[in-house]
Amino acid sequence: MTKYVDFLNRCLLLCSLVFLTACAANRGSPDISVTNSRPAADLWTPADQAHWEPVRFPGKKFTSFKLGRHQSRASLQADAMSSASMLRQKVRVEPDQLGRLKFAWHVPELIAGADMGLRDADDSPVRVVLAFEGDRSKFSPRNAMLSELAHVLTGEEMPYATLMYVWCNQRAVDSVIVNPRTDRIQKIVVESGRAHLRQWMEYERDVRADYQKAFGEAPGALVAIGLMTDSDNTRTTTQAWYGDIQLLAK
């Protein structure tokens, strides 16, 4: 029975990590509310991000997100204390309209012991997360089971694919990290090591090219974008700031 409960808990966490648990959205911070879907070619400021849909993970403490300023720059501050949660914005961008994604973040310190290739150390001070539609008939038996379980538990199917942009402790920039729980989550390292800590870093990524590199096929429609700061696996404290995010149409 213990092994069965542990299996269910891991499945619940996995479902959460791929944008499921919408039913728990309103249990987050009281000053965060759900917004309507936004089109591509749009700019989300930190003030917008503070009103994205909060997504709480089963059995996990909530990471604090609050609007503020850092180094004279408007930002969304994230504080994780052995916690993991996400802010999510639903979108709808068809594959032929997928262009580039611009975003900025500031990280003062890495998470000691974090390794996103290991299930029990999969933490990151910053993540920008994209969820995509696709042909679920291509799912492996394991992923099909997880998707069905997610639908039963949350009312939402597991996205066909989830792409994360992350800051890694040691892997090279542009390397791809396969999620240790499922190959339907892939992470691309956009920053690595300590060289650029304590400064604002800005990025512009070709979403289509990055998806192709990570999953080996053309992307489907982009259906959600999210921000995630987590330190639950390493049971540590971490802090980061997010700047403007812009999704540019092709």
- In three-state form (DSSP H/G/I as H, E/B as E, the rest C), the secondary structure along 23-90 is HHHHHCCCCCCCCCCECCCEEECHHHHCCCEEEECCCCECCEEEEEEECCEEEEEEEEECEEEEEEEE
How much is the pLDDT for 145?
Answer: 83
Residue 193 DSSP label: S
Q: Which two tokens stand for residue 8?
A: 């269910």
How much is the pLDDT for 32?
Answer: 35
> Residue type at 98?
L
Lowest-confidence region among 4-18, 98-112, 134-148: 4-18
Domains located in the chain, CATH noted: 2-249 (2.60.120)
How much is the average pLDDT of 205-225?
A: 96
Q: What angle do CA 41, 19, 237 make, to 5 degrees?
A: 100
> Residue type at 111?
I
How much is the pLDDT for 14?
Answer: 52
Instruction: Answer with the residue of higher pLDDT: 19 or 94.
Output: 94
How much is the pLDDT for 199?
Answer: 97
How much is the average pLDDT of 203-216?
A: 97
Question: Which tens digits make up the pLDDT trace of 153-169?
Answer: 767 777 899 999 999 99
Q: How confident is the model at residue 146 (pLDDT cuts 50, 70, 90)?
A: confident
How much is the pLDDT for 202?
Answer: 98
Assess contact for 20 and 158: CB atoms under 8 A. yes
> Residue type at 247?
L
HSE-CB for 125 with a 13 A CA cutoff: 26
Question: Which tens digits make up the pLDDT trace of 217-234?
Answer: 999 999 999 999 999 999
Residue with tokens 């997880």: 146
What is the rounded distance in angstroms from the CA atom of residue 250 to the CA atom of residue 222?
A: 13
Q: Examine the pLDDT at 201 and tell me if it is beyond 90.
A: yes
Determine how β-strand 237-249 pairs with β-strand 98-106.
antiparallel
How much is the average pLDDT of 85-90?
A: 95
Q: Examine the pLDDT at 9 and tell me if it is beyond 80.
A: no
Q: How confident is the model at residue 7 (pLDDT cuts 50, 70, 90)?
A: very low
How much is the average pLDDT of 169-194?
A: 93
Question: Hey, what's the torsion of the CAs at 69, 36, 210, 129, to 10 degrees?
Answer: 60
How much is the pLDDT for 147?
Answer: 77
Q: Which two tokens stand for residue 137?
A: 């008939």
Assess contact for 169 and 35: CB atoms under 8 A. no
